[in-house]
């Protein structure tokens, strides 16, 4: 049974890695991996860390590429791959352009399509943009839907997608545990050496921010909030791996570079990021995956977005939506820094996104249904 995994960005690679590893262990599956290179350097780091060697690398990344360019480039190249391989099943993950075009190309070839992380919805087609509509469209193209939570399954049912829908947990948790296990075997000394500028006796706040919908004034508000937090609390160090997009870098460096306890660093490879997250006190983020990963490590998450499609974490109490309002961000961070009861309520809440066994469930289901 030939299975083709298609992905192109770092988050996809992270969430696909444990699934690929599970399928590779069984002789009844012939595993083929195709990467589009929608991200390049960040994607390659994950492939190397998890020891995944692609059979096809479309390498579509170009300077200043638009959504139109990416979409056209991927579908033309995938047509060739699918014609050569004729897979029994195509796996795609999440809500990227690669995932959407992978599903569309598979549909054109009348191949079966399995969607990992199915059913996430914000119900606002422009937030997150363009991911929300890609999720919706993939849902109607796919044949097998691996929902991370019961809520995601219910979202699919509302759209009359009721066949072959399975709640399995999120594979990002599988990847996180697998990654930390690899790090432990390698030894942590090189990680401490890399982050030797951080005082780990203090409370570490890890920040990530890059959402398109926050560009402009909302992003400046986030930066001013971070600056004030650093000025107000001497026992805190803030670490911000800054996204390469100039719409992010310009306000971040302009507003935050002068504070000695705010460390603006280059984007981190996956192992260094999860190691640092594991050492952090709390996380400020607008990322989707981190809303799932951090609670698995007992780290409270404040989500700097107006809307999140990952509502399960909000409901469970592992995450809190703070938007891009400066005062609200400062207030909620202050509560977690000063109120031990509130901190423990978030840190010890049960993570709704899974137990690290989603990959096993996906493999077992596919063995049964195909």
Active site residue 85: no
Has 210 been annotated as catalytic? yes
**DSSP string computed for 175-232:** HHHHHHHHHHHH-SHHHHHHTTTS-TTSEEEEEE---GGGTTHHHHHHHHHHHHHHHH
Query: Is 117 a catalytic site residue?
Result: yes
- Catalytic residue (one of 24, 44, 55, 243): 243
CATH 3.40.50.80 is the classification of domain 2-170+355-369: no
- Cα three-residue angle 272-361-175, rounded to 5 degrees: 0
Of 77, 117, 174, 309, the catalytic one is: 117
The DSSP string of 28-88 is T-EEEEEE--SS-HHHHHHHHHTT---SEE-----TT--HHHHHHHHHHHHHHHHHHH--S
Instruction: Report pLDDT digits (tens) over 183-233.
Output: 999 999 999 999 999 999 999 999 998 777 778 788 899 999 999 999 999
Instruction: Find the range with the poorest average confidence among 34-43, 53-62, 267-276, 319-328.
Output: 34-43
In this prediction, residue 128 carries a pLDDT of 84
| Tens digit of each residue's pLDDT (9 = 90 or more) over 37-78 | 887 778 898 999 999 999 999 998 888 889 999 999 999 999
Name the catalytic one among 12, 131, 312, 332: 131
Task: Respond yes or no: is residue 95 known to be catalytic.
Answer: yes
Residue 181 among the catalytic residues: no
Q: Which of 121, 210, 261, 363 is catalytic?
A: 210
310, 124 contact by CB (below 8 A) = no
Asked if the peptide bond before residue 130 counts as cis, ω within 30 degrees of 0, the response is yes
* Residue 216 token pair: 């402009």
Q: Which of 95, 286, 292, 332 is catalytic?
A: 95
Name the active-site residue from 212, 228, 263, 342: 212
Same fold, 2-170+355-369 and 188-347: yes
Q: What CATH fold (topology level) applies to the domain 188-347? A: Rossmann fold (3.40.50)
Task: Copy the structure tokens of residue 205.
Answer: 């706040």
pLDDT higher for 217 or 339? 339
Residues in the chain: 370
Residue ranges per domain, the chain?
2-170+355-369, 188-347
- For the question of residue 199 being annotated catalytic, the response is no
């Amino acid at each position: 049974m030939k299975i083709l995994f298609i992905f192109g960005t770092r988050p996809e690679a992270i969430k696909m890695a444990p699934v690929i590893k599970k399928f590779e262990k069984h002789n009844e599956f012939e595993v083929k991996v195709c990467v589009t290179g929608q991200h390049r350097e960040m994607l390659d780091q994950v492939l190397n860390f998890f020891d995944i060697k692609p059979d096809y690398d479309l390498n579509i990344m170009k300077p200043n590429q638009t959504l139109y360019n990416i979409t056209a480039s991927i579908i033309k190249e995938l047509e060739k791959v699918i014609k050569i391989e004729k897979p029994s099943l195509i796996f795609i993950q999440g809500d990227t352009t690669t995932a959407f075009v992978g599903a569309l190309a598979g549909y054109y070839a009348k191949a079966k399509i399995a969607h990992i992380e199915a059913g996430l919805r914000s119900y606002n087609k422009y937030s997150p943009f363009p991911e929300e509509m890609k999720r919706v469209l993939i849902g109607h193209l796919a044949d097998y839907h691996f929902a991370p939570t019961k809520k995601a399954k219910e979202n699919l049912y509302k759209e009359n997608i009721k066949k072959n829908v399975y709640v399995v947990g999120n594979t990002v948790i599988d990847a996180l545990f697998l990654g930390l296990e690899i790090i432990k075997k390698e030894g942590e000394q090189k990680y401490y050496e890399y982050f030797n500028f951080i005082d780990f006796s203090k409370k570490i706040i890890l920040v990530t921010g890059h959402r398109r919908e926050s560009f402009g004034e909302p992003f400046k508000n986030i930066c001013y909030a971070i600056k004030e937090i650093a000025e107000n609390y001497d026992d805190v160090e803030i670490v911000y791996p800054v996204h390469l997009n100039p719409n992010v870098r310009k306000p971040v460096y302009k507003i935050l570079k002068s504070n000695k306890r705010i460390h603006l660093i280059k984007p981190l490879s996956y192992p260094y990021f999860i190691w640092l997250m594991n050492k952090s006190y709390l996380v400020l983020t607008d990322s989707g995956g981190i809303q799932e990963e951090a609670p698995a490590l007992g780290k409270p998450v404040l989500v700097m977005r107006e809307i999140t499609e990952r509502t399960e974490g909000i409901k469970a109490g592992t995450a809190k939506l703070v938007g891009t309002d400066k005062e609200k961000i400062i207030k909620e961070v202050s509560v977690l820094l000063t109120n031990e009861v509130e901190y423990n309520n978030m840190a010890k809440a049960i993570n709704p996104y899974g137990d690290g066994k989603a990959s096993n469930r996906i493999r077992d289901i596919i063995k049964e249904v195909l």
